[in-house]
Amino acid sequence: MKTTTISPATALIYIMVTMSAVDRQMSDRELGKIGRIVQNLPPFEDFDPQRLIYVAEECGAILQEQDGLEAVFGLIKEALPDHLRETAYAMAVEIAIVDKTFNPEEARLLQLFREMLRIDKLVAAAIERGARARHMPV
């Protein structure tokens, strides 16, 4: 299994792609949300949005390998600086909630992300509540 260092922006994309792919269906809403996040948030200022599809496919290919999830987690942990841990978790939550369904696989992956990123339970609850509020229908 090939492991190389990735950029922090790529690590954030890997988190979102992994969250989107956890139920084996990457919805148009999830893909659209990933694209909007990459185009609009400061951690992606130096990231070329034209590379988004390539990076997403790269992550998907790693996930398909034996022990792919562990490999992706290793790359993310290696590349993500501490100051982006909460940002990363917030992005995962945004992708999990954007299609307005929440299944056990998504809940489990969010738990794994919380542990990997060392997110405090109160911080996680605040991030999750904020995402629910942003996606509440009128």
Which domains, from first to last, does the chain contain? Answer: 8-134 (1.10.3680)
pLDDT band at 72 (very low <50, low <70, confident <90, very high): very high
| DSSP track, 67-79 | THHHHHHHHHHHH
The residue-averaged pLDDT of 100-106 equals 81
Tokens 């995402």 belong to which residue?
A: 131
Q: Which of 48, 46, 8, 52 is nearest to 33 (CA)?
A: 52
pLDDT band at 4 (very low <50, low <70, confident <90, very high): low
Residue 1 has pLDDT above 60, yes or no: no
The alpha carbon of 14 is separated from its chain's Cα centroid by a whole number of angstroms, namely: 6
CB contact at 8 A, 59 and 14: yes
| DSSP track, 92-128 | HHHHHHHTS---HHHHHHHHHHHHHHT--HHHHHHHH
pLDDT in tens, 23-69: 777 878 889 999 999 999 999 999 999 999 999 999 999 999 999 99
Sign, Cα dihedral of 81, 58, 19, 104 = negative
Q: How far is CA 6 from CA 31, 43, 59, 77, 98, in A?
A: 21, 14, 11, 10, 26
% pLDDT > 70, the chain: 97
3-class DSSP state for residue 5? coil
1-15, 33-47, 66-80: lowest mean pLDDT where?
1-15
